[in-house]
Chains A and B, each alone.
Chain A
Amino acid sequence: EVQLVESGGSLVQPGGSLKLSCVASGFTFSNYWMDWVRQTPGKSLEWIGEINTDGSKTNYAPSIKDRFTISRDNAKSTLYLQMSNVKSDDTAIYYCLQFAYWGQGTLVTVSS
């Protein structure tokens, strides 16, 4: 059974940094592109970015480019989202996904 478990969400101050993790199981992690998507309190979904199988290529949404970095550790079957210089607009539930499979999400709240 495919499972994706996110962690690392918390309350962070504007301008701060946070690193989210997503541990994958039930499939060969190194064979799949992985994505991050977020859902804001207003409930809309926003695609954040993706990473290829070996981590050599990433694509990002303009709203987070140069502030967020997606990486992966295939040996640990883990996907990461490094968030820097966070803003209040970054408050959201963050999901990792592999095609049809989504995690349960982790909540990031940006507030002073």
Chain B
Amino acid sequence: DVVLTQTPVSLSVTLGDQASISCRSSQSLEYSDGYTYLEWYLQKPGQSPQLLIYEVSNRFSGVPDRFIGSGSGTDFTLKISRVEPEDLGVYYCFQATHDPNTFGAGTKLELK
């Protein structure tokens, strides 16, 4: 199975700061069709996860442009510029390139 390693495990920030989360894959996530099926989710307390980014860098409908996904191959990053209160929660990366699909263990974003 593909292992996604997220770092850091937790991240303490001040509102307005930039936050950066890394997701490293044990195998390349580029599929044979040329697409890379790497997604980012945010789970707020008491809620279901919500999709932020799909195919590495595409923001889902309604996601603010302060969320920026980047990377290729095995190395991916989610950056959040100017963290706002509604950004707090647990972030997960997820790959749908290889079966079985797998999630990272999560990164908790909290206030300093």
Contacts and interface: CB of A to CB of B under 8 A. Distances in A.
B86 interface: no
A35 B102 CA distance: 12
B100 A59 contact: yes
Interface in B46-84: 48-51, 54, 60-61
B1 interface: yes
A11 interface: no
A100 B102 contact: no
Given A43-B90, A43-B106, A44-B105, A60 B100 contact: yes
B12 to A, nearest CB: 19
Nearest to B63: A100
A45 B48 contact: no
Q: Is the interface of B mostly helix, strand, loop or mixed?
A: loop
Interface string A40-54: 000111110110000
Contacts of B50: 100, 102
Contact of A62 (B54, B100, B106): B100
Nearest to A50: B101
A37 B39 CA distance: 15
B106 A104 contact: no
B99 interface: yes
A44 B101 contact: no
B105 to A, nearest CB: 6
30 contacts: A35-B101, A37-B103, A43-B106, A44-B103, A44-B105, A44-B106, A45-B49, A45-B94, A45-B103, A47-B94, A47-B100, A47-B103, A50-B101, A59-B100, A60-B100, A61-B100, A61-B101, A62-B1, A62-B100, A95-B48, A95-B49, A99-B51, A99-B54, A100-B50, A100-B54, A100-B60, A102-B48, A102-B49, A102-B50, A105-B48
Given A43-B90, A43-B106, A100-B51, 13 more contacts: A45-B92, A45-B94, A47-B102, A49-B100, A59-B99, A59-B100, A62-B100, A95-B48, A99-B51, A100-B50, A100-B54, A103-B48, A104-B48
Interface of A: 35, 37, 43-47, 49-50, 59-62, 95, 99-100, 102-105
